Structures are given as structure tokens and as C-alpha cells.
Structure 1
Amino acid sequence: MSFAEPLHDIAHLGGIELFTPRFERSLWYFHDLLGMEVVHRNGSSAYLRGWGDHSVSTLKLTSADRPGVGCIAWRTVSPQALERRAEAITADGLAIGWTNGDFGRGRSFRFCDPDGHLMELYFEEQKYDPPARLRSALKNQPQKYTGRGVGVRRTDHLALLAADVGRNRRFAESTLGFQLREQVLFEQGKREIGSWMSPNAIHHQLAYVADVKGGHGRLHHISMWVDNREDVLRAADILVENAIFVEAGPSKHNNSQGFYLYSYEPGGNRVEIYSGSYLVLAPDWRPVTWNEEERGSGTYWGAPLPESFIQYATPDIEPPGRKSDSLDLPVFF
């Protein structure tokens, strides 16, 4: 049996930038309701972290006219790996170039994936050094658990929309070295609806899903990790009590086996509170493929995902042939 040696130049998801037209309300959502810490502010941006994140920041909020995703950062396993991936991306014709790095990061290489999402690779990273009030009694825990709001532990993954899922999946596999975990194929395998991938043992840190409106560079959701299902249920109470619309869940996905709750932060971006799932340690993992019948509603149990889950992403756009006259959030089914 032939076996291609895995490419392990990328270590993990390093950080996500979110654009929001309601900056202060979005900051309230992530700090007060989700329990993240603000570690730095610079101009129109704020940098946050979960209590279990080891780096100084994993989420950047930036004020903008419309919601959506900004730069998605991936950490490499070494400076040499950073150089290798930069060369490979340049050969693919997707390079933007080198920068001095954002807050908490060293020299970085920026590029776009085939669908136009902005990304960067880096190696040098500032570790979190908590102030005395946040220092944990556990030497192996970067910060004490504050018990504020949901208390999300870390930034876990994100899902991006793409006009051509297959093209983006192949780029992530061949050029970045991601490993395919699961995918959804319709029409007897001819149409790739979604692919879930990771550069490490976490089930997926990146997913590409078909953009039904034919857009480019759009965000489906970001995901925040909590330790158990009870935390997800508690999150539902906290969000509803604070008038945050819960779009779907709590329920369990069939794909990934993740236990989930989807809500919208005040700027309009979809945020998942997530737990469960499974790790993949096998180097010769065979990707799991789902067809139309097997995929069903996308849930193992619980209420089916609503139509908005397919139709809405950020920034929102109108379907082809229809002129948009509003940036309001869509009507939910």
C-alpha cells in the first residue's frame, strides 16, 4: 500500500481576526459573556484570549463597516518550516509578502487562499504572562479560570465559505500540509460540499463549506472550546438571558461528533460554543465521507440546522441577480 509522508510544517491555528460594525458591543460579547480577557488595544482593534490559550492573544476584534473575517494566522513548527511554506505558497502564485508581524507575533508571511481569504504564517510568538490577579496555582495552566460568563477555554477552529471547496481543500492539503478528516460529497461524489481538515490531532481547525450564494472570502463561523457539554448548556442560558439570538443547538453534529451551540455576536458574525468531538492520532487516517442521505440535517441528534445556517455568512450578500438594499441580519426560519 502506497503512503505519502505527511507534511507537518504547520503546528496549529494561531489566531483569528474578526471585523465588526458594532465594536463595543462585540467586545462586550467576547469579554463579558464569553469570559475572554482583553490583553491589548491598538487603534480600532482589541486583542483577546481564552483562559487556556498559551499565546498572548488568539482573537483580534477590528472595527469595520461590515462583519466578516480578517487575517487568519497559523503557527509553523519552526523558522525553517515558515520559510519552506512561504516558498511553496509563492510557487502557487498566492503570496502577498512578508510583514513584521501583528501584536504578539514575529515576522509573518501573508497570502490568500484560492477563495481570497487573507492568511498568514508565523513562528515567533509571545507567551502569555498573566498579571498577579490572573496567575493560576497550577504551573501548567497559563491563566486562572475566572468563572466569568461562559468561560471559554480557547479558540478552537473556524469554517470558511468557498466557491470551489475542492480547490481550497487541495491547496490546504498539498501546500499547507493539512490532513483531511471528513468531507461531504453530493451527486455520487461529484460535488464537494464541505471538507474538514487539521494540521494536528484536533479533529479540524479549518473547514471549507460551499458558498451557496457564490461569494468569495466569507466566514461561516468561528468556534470557541469549552470543557464539557454542561458548559455548552450553561452558555445557552447565559446568551439567552442577555438577549443574544441562539441560531442552533444545543445539539450534536454527526460530522466531528461535536456538541454545539451557535449564536451571533452583536456585530453579526456566527460564533460556535463547542465541545466533544474526537482526536485523530493515526498517521494513515482514512477520511470519512458522507453523502446526501447520510449527512441528513447535519445533526446526530437534536433539532435540524435551520435554513439560515446554509444561507447566512459574513459579510452577508444577496444571491446572484438580486440587489441588496440592506445590511440587516437575515430573517431566521
Structure 2
Amino acid sequence: MAPPLGDIAHLGHVELLTPDLDGSLWFFTTILGLTENGRSGDSVYLRTWDDYEHHSLTLTAHTTSGIRRTALRASGEAALQRRVEALRQAGLPGRWVEDEPGIGKLYVTQDPDGHEEALYWESEWYQAPDELRPGLKNQPQAKPVQGVGVRRLDHVNFLAADVASNAAFTHEVLGARPTEQIVLDSGRTAAQWLTFTNKSYDIVYTEDWSGAHGRLHHVAFATDSREDILRAADLCLDNGVHIETGPHKHAIQQTFFLYVYEPGGNRVELCNPLTRLVLAPDWPLVTWTEAERAKGQAWGLKTIASFHTHGTPPVD
């Protein structure tokens, strides 16, 4: 039986690997408008302006691209311990570490596909320096004066060899609830969207056609408005950032979107899902068929072929 919703409070932050640290840093700061908040070794810590924690994104220099860690904040120490015990009872490996600034101990484990996930409770609240102090006291940081000015990290879409088992892990062990899914004519689940909050989704699993494990489809950052996404498209066009698809509107979850590749090769989505919340405690899982998905996105844009083939790290 799945635990009640609430032990995981929200998606905290992610760590992306990049073979082009300078290029990735330029993209996330100059184009998206994140703020640098410290460095350690080969890693740079960045934050969105409306995040209350030390960092929203870690960029780490590496030989290839991909995602190393996805961190989920628990709703309290007792909730953290409940999820750790559930992971142990499920027979999944885990270890305690303290290796991130502004964050206390993290319990590092992995999903069935091999993606590293870390659960934590202790977190340092961000205090903006004078030059970033906001005009309103209920805002962590002043809005950026450059780039898109993304508001927060919104969701992570993992590629997985077996969507169903990974979605079941996220539901039954971590306590997320599924909101929408794609089921093929064969009966195989091709993708599933899950939420820990009243957002429509925080974590997504999409079938990896390569059969590889532990890869990333994309990370997504939320904007204040659709117009911000149109601005992002112009900024990317003007600055040579590869636009994969969009701007357009998804049929699933109805998110207004733009997909681009940051210089390190990772796919990044700019999204505006802020108007759609799942408030019903008995929300029914919405299932999309193969025929329905063949129609494309909400307004008819066909899904681009690279959406099914590009993931990081790349595979032969």
C-alpha cells in the first residue's frame, strides 16, 4: 500500500553533469537568470530567485553529460526516517552523506533504473546579500535583471528502461501519486507523471528506447508567464542555443513549453504550468492511448523525433 501523500515535501534540487562547465554556467546564469551561490571543487551551486534554499541546481564538470543526483526534501525529520525505513524494507541500497553546502545529512539511494536520489530534511534558509535583497520581505531574493528569470526548478523527467517499475517505486516507496500516463496498445506503460504536492507533476518517467539505464530526458524550470517562454525562445535564437521544439502547449498536463539543449548537451525545458494544480485528493489517473498521442501536442504540433532519441549521457 502506498504511503499517504506528504512525507516528501517537494523536489529540492538536482545535480547536472556537463563536459562544458563554462558554457553550461553561461546558459543557466545569462540565459535563464540563475544566481551563483558558491563553488566546491568541480561544482558550481546555482539558485532560482524564488527558491528558499541554498541551491536549486548544481553544475559539475565531467567527461559527459547527464544527471547525477535528484534531491527531495522531506516534510520533517520523522517523515524522512519513515521514507528511509521504507527504502530499507524494499531492499534498496542507501547511505547517509553530508556533502552539499546548506544541506544537512542526505540519505542517498537510487530508483530501480539506477538514478541517484537523495532524501533530506535539514536545510539552510537562504539569506540574500545586500545586492540581491528583494523589495518585499516574503521573497527570498530580488528578481534577476538578466535572462529569462526562471522562478523555480519545476520537475525532472527521467529516462527508464522500465517505466512501470520506476513509477511504482516512486508511488509505493516515496509516496508520490500518479496523475497522468501513456499506455501503448501492447499494454506497456510508456510514460507516467507523478506528484508529491498539489502541482500536477514533480517526477516523470519516460521509456528509454535505447534500453540504457540511469539517463536523463530533461530538467524543467518554471517561468512566471507564457510570455517569459516566448522571450526565452528569442534569447536562445539570438545566442545560438539549440531549440529542439516549441514554444507550444502539451496535451498531457497542458504545460506551455520550450525545449532547448544547454551547451553541455542536457535537455532543458522552460515551462509554465503554474495555473494547473491537482487539488482533488481522489484525482483519477488519466490514461492516454497510443492513438491519442499520435495526434501530437495540444494544438497539433507533432512530437519531434529527437524527443524519443536524445537523452544524456548519450549512448551509441
Normalised by the size of structure 2, how large is the TM-score?
0.97
> Does the 8 Å contact 2:50/2:141 carry over to 1?
yes
Task: For 1:7 and 1:132, locate their aligned partners in 2 and report how far apart those are by CA, in whole Å.
Answer: 38
In the other structure, the counterpart of 2:190 is 193
In the other structure, the counterpart of 2:116 is 118
- Deviation for aligned residue 1:95: 2.1
Task: For 1:53 and 1:234, locate their aligned partners in 2 and report how far apart those are by CA, in whole Å.
Answer: 22
Q: Determine if the alignment matches structure 1 residue 233 to structure 2 residue 230.
A: yes
Task: For 1:74 and 1:95, locate their aligned partners in 2 and report how far apart those are by CA, in whole Å.
Answer: 17
1:118/1:4 CA distance change after superposition, 3 Å: closer
The percentage of aligned residue pairs carrying the same residue is 44
Task: For 1:160 and 1:4, locate their aligned partners in 2 and report how far apart those are by CA, in whole Å.
Answer: 21
Task: Say which is worse superposed, 49-58 or 257-266, in terms of deviation.
Answer: 49-58
Let me know the Cα RMSD of the aligned residues.
1.3
In the other structure, the counterpart of 2:97 is 99
Counterpart mapping for 1:134-213 below 5 A:
134-187=132-185, 190-213=187-210
Task: For 2:170 and 2:143, locate their aligned partners in 1 and report how far apart those are by CA, in whole Å.
Answer: 34
Task: For 2:295 and 2:72, locate their aligned partners in 1 and report how far apart those are by CA, in whole Å.
Answer: 31
Q: Determine if the alignment matches structure 1 residue 29 to structure 2 residue 34.
A: no
2:311 aligned to which of 310, 313, 316: 313
In the other structure, the counterpart of 1:77 is 75
Q: Determine if the alignment matches structure 1 residue 257 to structure 2 residue 250.
A: no
SS state at 1:250 partner? strand
Task: For 1:98 and 1:49, locate their aligned partners in 2 and report how far apart those are by CA, in whole Å.
Answer: 24
Q: Could you give the per-residue CA deviations for residues 36-77 of structure 1, whole angstroms, max 9, x where no partner exists? A: 000010010000011111112010000000000011100000
In the other structure, the counterpart of 2:293 is 295
- Deviation for aligned residue 1:302: 5.3
Task: For 2:252 and 2:99, locate their aligned partners in 1 and report how far apart those are by CA, in whole Å.
Answer: 35
> Does the 8 Å contact 2:24/2:262 carry over to 1?
yes
> Does the 8 Å contact 2:10/2:72 carry over to 1?
yes
Task: For 1:29 and 1:109, locate their aligned partners in 2 and report how far apart those are by CA, in whole Å.
Answer: 30
> Does the 8 Å contact 1:182/1:288 carry over to 2?
yes
- Deviation for aligned residue 1:297: 4.8
- Deviation for aligned residue 1:6: 2.5
1:221 aligned to which of 218, 221, 226: 218
Q: Could you give the per-residue CA deviations for residues 127-167 of structure 1, whole angstroms, max 9, x where no partner exists? A: 11001111111111111112311111111101001111000
Task: For 1:159 and 1:4, locate their aligned partners in 2 and report how far apart those are by CA, in whole Å.
Answer: 21
- Deviation for aligned residue 1:7: 3.4
The unaligned stretches of length 5 or more in structure 2 are none
Number of residue pairs aligned between Structure 1 and Structure 2: 315
> Does the 8 Å contact 2:34/2:144 carry over to 1?
no
- Deviation for aligned residue 1:101: 4.3
In the other structure, the counterpart of 2:85 is 87
Task: For 1:225 and 1:215, locate their aligned partners in 2 and report how far apart those are by CA, in whole Å.
Answer: 28
Task: For 2:199 and 2:97, locate their aligned partners in 1 and report how far apart those are by CA, in whole Å.
Answer: 28
1:5/1:83 CA distance change after superposition, 3 Å: closer
In the other structure, the counterpart of 2:129 is 131
> Does the 8 Å contact 1:19/1:68 carry over to 2?
yes
Task: For 2:295 and 2:310, locate their aligned partners in 1 and report how far apart those are by CA, in whole Å.
Answer: 16
Task: For 2:296 and 2:172, locate their aligned partners in 1 and report how far apart those are by CA, in whole Å.
Answer: 28
Task: For 2:292 and 2:46, locate their aligned partners in 1 and report how far apart those are by CA, in whole Å.
Answer: 38
Task: Say which is worse superposed, 4-13 or 173-182, in terms of deviation.
Answer: 4-13
SS state at 2:173 partner? helix
The unaligned stretches of length 5 or more in structure 1 are 319-333
- Deviation for aligned residue 1:296: 2.4
Task: For 2:296 and 2:51, locate their aligned partners in 1 and report how far apart those are by CA, in whole Å.
Answer: 29
1:35/1:144 CA distance change after superposition, 3 Å: same
1:100/1:233 CA distance change after superposition, 3 Å: same
In the other structure, the counterpart of 2:244 is 247
Task: For 1:244 and 1:19, locate their aligned partners in 2 and report how far apart those are by CA, in whole Å.
Answer: 18
Normalised by the size of structure 1, how large is the TM-score?
0.92
After the TM superposition, list the runs of 4 or more consecutive aligned residues in structure 1 that deviate by more than 6 angstroms: none
Amino acid of the residue matched to residue 245 of structure 1?
Answer: H
